[in-house]
Amino acid sequence: RSTSVKQSSLSFFYVIPLGTNGGLDENNLSSYLLTSVNNSIPNSAYISLDGGTVRHGIEIAIKQQSLPLNTDKEMFIREQIKAYLISHGHLDHITGFLINTPNDKSGKFIIGLNQTIKIIRDHYFNNQAWADFGSTGLKTYDYQILDPLSTISAPIVNTDLDVRIFRLCHTCPFLSSAFLVSRRNQPSASILYLGDTGPDDVEKIIQADNTTYSPRYLSQLWKEMAPLVAANQLKAIFIEVSYPNGRPDHLLFGHLTPNWLLKELNVLKSYHSMENVKIIVTHIKPENGAREKIIEQLSRADALHFNFVFPQQGQAIWL
């Protein structure tokens, strides 16, 4: 079973995976360039969803001809990546972005939850771990803090894209987030990018009186996505599967397996058929044939309701 991610006259978005794995290989960490497509031509203004591997991913993308062969990677980073949307502050989602900050062009925004921006300010841009390229220092970047309780999308400056944020649990109560990125201009369309997340049934906070509380952020997210799926506006969901089945729940560290992913996606499918939404599987931990196992585990009968895509570094995806 294969799902086409090739160019079509009906494409709304162009995605270049700069890094697809969940850790271990520093050359291939979570990062996805996204731009809108009009008349089959990708717009030159990209955003970066997470920033794990940046420069090396662009080199691979040029080799794969997902970017023109004469692309100058330095110029591309400076001129064509307009904003970094960071799902959470873990190093594997931000390290490539950080390393490239000294040569970046000013006037860009780092976009995320208040909690994520605080990690960047306090732990990276603190003149100890790294120079302060933020708004309190060298001012290369400004911070765009998004409110997860707002139902309105915010513009991403210098692009034709808008964004809305949602909270996720990644070892509760540590927060990660999901971005709903939408085209501002007609025809409208959206993609949903999730940072790391554990399953609702596993992510629990133990309270002071020893009772547990489950925020169930994924179930809230699926409820919000259902109308977009029904309207055929949601083109893709980028969601993680870090480990193959069999990983015990207490060793998930805030991640999903194929079984947990299917359990979550079936909640969304209970609202509407998912046949028109591509499910782009991110963040596989590159160990012990995990990728092959996960692909196999997501091809079983109960997975056939979903169009899974397994992205490869540098290989473009048209949505």
Ligand X SMILES: Nc1ncnc2c1ncn2[C@@H]1O[C@@H]2COP(=O)(O)O[C@H]2[C@H]1O
247 interacts with ligand X by CB under 6 A: no
Helix, strand, or coil (residue 177): strand
Cβ distance to ligand X smaller for residue 93 or 235: 93
Number of residues in contact with ligand X, rule: CB under 6 A?
7
23 interacts with ligand X by CB under 6 A: yes
Cβ distance to ligand X smaller for residue 91 or 304: 91
240 interacts with ligand X by CB under 6 A: no
| Binding residues for ligand X restricted to 26-45, rule: CB under 6 A | none
For residue 225, give the H/E element and its range.
helix 217-230
Single residue of 17, 19, 22, 134 touching ligand X by CB under 6 A: 22
Single residue of 253, 273, 275, 302 touching ligand X by CB under 6 A: 253
Residue 253 Rama label (left phi>0; alpha psi -120 to 50; beta): left
Q: What are phi and psi of 205, to 5 degrees?
A: -105, 130
Cβ distance to ligand X smaller for residue 23 or 314: 23
Rounded to a whole number of angstroms, the distance between the first and last alpha carbons of the chain is: 18
50 interacts with ligand X by CB under 6 A: no
Question: Would you say 77 and 70 are in contact if contact means Cβ atoms under 8 Å apart?
Answer: no
Torsion over CA: 231, 164, 58, 279 (sign) = negative
Return the residue nearest ligand X (CB atom). Answer: 253
Distances in whole angstroms, Cα of residue 234 to Cα of each of 58, 116, 122, 136, 193: 26, 25, 35, 37, 11
Quote the least distance from Cβ 24 to ligand X, whole Å: 8
Quote the least distance from Cβ 251 to ligand X, whole Å: 8
Tell me the C-alpha distance between 215 and 167, whole Å.
10
Helix, strand, or coil (residue 151): coil
Segments in 9-84 forming alpha helices (H): 55-63, 73-75
203 interacts with ligand X by CB under 6 A: no
Single residue of 56, 90, 121, 167 touching ligand X by CB under 6 A: 90
Tell me the per-residue interface mask from 159 to 198 with ligand X, x by CB under 6 A, - otherwise. Answer: -------------------------------------x--
Cβ distance to ligand X smaller for residue 23 or 112: 23
Q: Which residues bind ligand X (CB under 6 A)?
A: 22-23, 90, 92, 196, 253-254
